[in-house]
Amino acid sequence: MGEISFTHLHLHTEYSLLDGANKIKDLAKRVKELGMDSVAITDHGNMFGAIDFYTTMRKEGIKPIIGMEAYIHNQDDLGDKTTKQRFHLCLYAKNEVGYKNLMYLSSMSYLKGFYYYPRINKKL
């Protein structure tokens, strides 16, 4: 039986503020050690590490998958400050348009939806 390839699609780095411990350079080395040819980044509510992740993984010959674990607010009004309730959803960029959309969502989550966490909703 042949080897089964595996790709982590839900991974936090040092850029997941207060949540992630993986340093991107160390992560690239470990991914190579494990024989993986691709890996995703899904930091909590931000895209701060996307460029560092992309360039480091490419340099190591690993396919980088850019994503973000978004905090979803279930109210129509992102400015609502009455509830901290939120849900998590991993979003991934399929191409450059998807990357730009993730950057937009990340930016708006801080500018319009921040309440304890950078939140987005389905209207955004």
pLDDT, tens digit, for every residue of 17-41?
Answer: 877 889 999 999 999 999 999 999 9
The residue among 108, 13, 39 whose CA lies nearest residue 70 is 108
- Facing residues of 101 across strands? none
124 and 112 Cβ atoms separated by less than 8 Å: yes
Tens digits of per-residue pLDDT, 59-108? 999 999 999 999 998 887 777 788 778 899 999 999 999 999 999 999 99
**Model-level pTM?**
0.89
Helix (H) or strand (E) holding 46: none
Q: By three-state DSSP, how is residue 106 classified?
A: helix
The two structure tokens encoding residue 52: 């560092």
> Could you tell me which CATH number the domain at 24-120 has?
3.20.20.140
pLDDT value at residue 4: 66
